[in-house]
Amino acid sequence: KAGVTQTPRYLIKTRGQQVTLSCSPISGHRSVSWYQQTPGQGLQFLFEYFSETQRNKGNFPGRFSGRQFSNSRSEMNVSTLELGDSALYLCASSYLKGNEQFFGPGTRLTVL
Amino acid sequence: EDKVVQSPLSLVVHEGDTVTLNCSYEVTNFRSLLWYKQEKKAPTFLFMLTSSGIEKKSGRLSSILDKKELSSILNITATQTGDSAIYLCATGDKIIFGKGTRLHILP
């Protein structure tokens, strides 16, 4: 069974630009969550989608948004990038909301 | 405010020692608590604890949920250098991660 895949794996952008990250969950998983991981703040929850609906949202500004498609694939968008957005962005999928999550390898975003 | 707090933040022990990692939570509508291990890559799942399954064991690792104390512990016995990692706990449903315990095992 294929794991969670994320694309791209690495990304370099400049301040003010926008970026879209993609996540394909494990087949059959309908819940997809996004996290930002930085050395100082640890793993911070961005949002969770289940059956194309956003079910939970963390404390991030509106520049961070996401969506989920009917095939459970999810995208995350960050607009007007800031230097502080440099981080590892992890996506995780689970069969049911609240169950164990399986993480993808992450997208490392660097904002210059 | 909902939160998950882990302690200690870091721990250094010698191979063969037993360690206990702590996780306390304050979350409305608590349903489950999960433990993950993170080495150089993304976190990997260890255990999920709920009201109907408050103790889990897998090899040298075990975990207990104390719903009265709103906490959980992760025990690792006979530690090995391969256990060196960051251990994360998180509440399920309303997903909140603790900052993790960085465990380093000396040979």
Predicted confidence (pLDDT) per residue in A26-43, tens digit = 999 999 999 999 987 788
Contact B42 A106 (CB under 8 A): yes
Between CA A72 and CA A23 the distance in angstroms is 9
Which of A41, A44, A104 is closest, CB to CB, to B42?
Answer: A104
pLDDT at B107: 93
CA of B31, closest CA in chain A: separation in Å?
8
pLDDT at B29: 82
Size of interface A-B (CB pairs under 8 A): 46
Which of B42, B95, B98 is closest, CB to CB, to A56?
Answer: B95
User: Residue A84's pLDDT band (boundaries 50, 70, 90)?
Assistant: very high
